[in-house]
């Protein structure tokens, strides 16, 4: 069953790769095939992130504080989370997994690192980006008074550069 799923995932990746490569021709002189694939996959995942963020923020969270309760030993704690941060917490795991899948099977296919090692390194780079997102949202929304969705879009542009170099030279690097 697991082999069938892996085979189906790889077939889907091959289809996506062919579609992306079809549009690569006019860009051959200005960027490498790998960079183009990264931009296409990252761009697709970015659009998914923005759409999910907008939908969750506006229709699931509804601009309200989110109250979570948890217990540590016999102590009860209640914490209020701002809606823009709660939305980030919901959307993040989804785009983490779709982003990893796209980068592993479409963009950085020549890496010979073990899949679990790639995933752990990918999560490390994404954790850095998550910290940039968290503090960036706090700064833009709570200090500058910007709207959450445009703030998220602005911060994402910063994390794209961090992500590309981190993934290329760390998460999916090719052994020499």
- Using the predicted structure, report yes or no on whether residue 146 has a pLDDT greater than 90: yes
pTM of the model: 0.80
Q: What is the mean pLDDT of residues 79-91?
A: 91
Q: What is the mean pLDDT of residues 4-32?
A: 94
H or E element that contains 163: helix 148-166
Report which of 172, 159, 167 is spatially closest to residue 46, judged by C-alpha positions.
159
- At residue 176 the predicted structure's pLDDT band, cuts being 50, 70 and 90, is low
Helix (H, G, I), strand (E, B) or coil at 80: strand
Q: Where are the domains of the chain?
A: 2-171
Report which of 43, 141, 124, 39 is spatially closest to residue 88, judged by C-alpha positions.
141
CA distance 10 to 4: 10
- Using the predicted structure, report yes or no on whether residue 1 has a pLDDT greater than 80: no
- Using the predicted structure, report yes or no on whether residue 83 has a pLDDT greater than 90: yes
């Amino acid at each position: 069953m697991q082999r069938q799923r892996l085979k189906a995932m790889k077939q889907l990746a091959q289809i996506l790769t062919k579609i992306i490569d079809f549009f690569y021709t006019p860009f051959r002189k200005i960027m490498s095939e790998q960079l183009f694939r990264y931009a296409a996959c990252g761009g697709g995942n970015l659009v998914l992130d923005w759409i999910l963020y907008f939908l969750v923020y506006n229709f699931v969270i509804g601009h309200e504080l989110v109250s979570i309760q948890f217990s540590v030993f016999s102590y009860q704690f209640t914490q209020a989370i701002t809606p823009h941060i709660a939305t980030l917490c919901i959307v993040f795991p989804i785009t983490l997994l779709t982003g990893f899948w796209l980068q592993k099977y479409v963009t950085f296919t020549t890496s010979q690192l073990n899949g679990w090692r790639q995933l752990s390194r990918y999560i490390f780079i994404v954790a850095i980006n998550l910290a940039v997102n968290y503090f960036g949202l706090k700064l833009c929304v709570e200090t500058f008074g910007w709207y959450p969705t445009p703030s998220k879009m602005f911060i994402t542009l910063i994390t794209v550069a961090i992500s590309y170099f981190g993934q290329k030279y760390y998460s999916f690097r090719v052994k020499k």
